[in-house]
Structure 1
Amino acid sequence: MEIFLQGLTMGLAYLAPIGAQNLFVINTALTAPLGIALVTAGIVAFFDISLALACFWGIGLVIEHSLLLQKALLGGGGLILIYLAWQLLHAQVQTDTSAYSQPTLWQTATLAFTVTWFNPQAVIDGTLMLG
């Protein structure tokens, strides 16, 4: 039981501070029907698990040795997160989910990949905790 609790708390410590992914899933849950929200959460979980595995297997070392990759991740990822935050701040609130315009699965997966893999905080946290 002790090992289970240790793993659970480590998982919560790893996932809780990653704000962009959480905001993406929460925003989808608030604006989309339940089925789409669950699919979105599953896609984000898939990309989050793939990032955690990459951090565990040493993506931090690759980033550390490539200055171009560091600049792209920190600069480009930061700009992407600012753009996504801008979109969320200026989004229109819809209380009627029947008027929801459903994004394609490809759009959902692309955005989930972006908020996971291009999030500098997620990569740094994962590398420090798991790498």
Structure 2
Amino acid sequence: MDAYFAGMLLGLAMITPIGPQNIFLINQGFTFGVPRVFVAVVAAGVCDTVLISLGGAGTSAVLNRVPGIKSFLLAAGVVFLTYLAVKSFRSRPEDFDQSTPPEMRWRRVVAQCTSVTVFNPHAVLDVVGILGVAIAAQAPDHRPIFAAGTVSASWLWFTLLALGASTLRRWLTPQRRVWIDRGSGTLMLVFAALFLGELLRS
């Protein structure tokens, strides 16, 4: 069990810092609440499970040999995060009319969550690489247990994040939601700018 908890601690250390994926989940919790927010939780959890599994299988070494892969992911990340930011800035109080439940299109939620994850080069390259190395460093019989710990950390964090946002949802007026969306859009633009700067330097 030591390997499991070591993997969980490493997973939590890597997943808890604020990033596009966490911002997306918080917004889903604010918008839809429980139980519909769990569509986003499952989508994010599956994405991280796949990335961690790929890291454990040594995919990071393959990705590092593919020319232009990081530049492509950075460029895609800039475009997609800018799109999400513009969408957030265009929100209005009437978009959050609490008298009628917001419509959820689960395919769109899954697609957006997947894009936020896949078009984040740090998630694809850094997380896959770091966790891949950490998994490979374990004794062979401990590797599956360690990997299970890192996967559990992602699912636990995403669930807590969604539940926390859903709990706060009842105190959010439409006007507050607009300001939260603007704050979210600003953070998305910050990450887009960081990705763009990294792209120009590469």
- Residues 17-28 of structure 1: pairs in structure 2 closer than 5 A: 17=17, 19-28=19-28
Match of 2:129 in 1: 128
Structure 1 stretches lacking a partner, 5+ long? none
Give, in whole Å, the separation in 1 of the partners of 2:120 and 2:21: 9
- One of 103, 113, 134 as aligned partner of 1:101: 103
The worse-fitting range, judged by mean Cα deviation, of 73-82 and 92-101 is: 92-101
* TM-score where L is the length of structure 1: 0.82
| 8 A Cα contact 1:47 1:116, kept in partner | yes
The DSSP-based 3-state class of the residue aligned with 2:36 is: helix
CA deviation profile, 1:19-43 (whole Å, cap 9, x unmatched): 1111111101001141210122112
Q: Contact 2:21/2:113 (CA < 8 Å) preserved in 1?
A: yes
Question: Highest CA radius of gyration, 1 or 2?
Answer: 2
1:76-115 alignment runs, 5 A limit = 76-92=76-92, 94=96, 96=98, 98-103=100-105, 105-115=106-116
Deviations 1:74-112 (A, max 9, x none): 211232123223323433352617341222x22121111
8 Å CA contact 1:14–1:129 kept in 2: the answer is no
- Are the counterparts in 1 of residues 39 and 110 from structure 2 also a CA contact under 8 Å? no
SS at match of 1:17: coil
- Tell me how far apart the structure 1 counterparts of residues 81 and 59 of structure 2 sit (CA, whole Å): 21
Aligned residue number for residue 181 of structure 2: none
**Equivalent residue number for residue 38 of structure 1:** 38
Q: Structure 1 CA distance, aligned partners of 2:88 and 2:18?
A: 16
Structure 2 counterparts to residues 54-65 of structure 1, below 5 A:
54-65=54-65
Tell me how large the CA RMSD over aligned residues is.
2.3
Where does structure 1 differ by over 6 angstroms across 4 or more consecutive aligned residues? none
Aligned equivalents of 1:7 and 1:128: distance in 2? 14
Is the 1:55–1:123 Cα contact (8 Å) retained in structure 2?
no
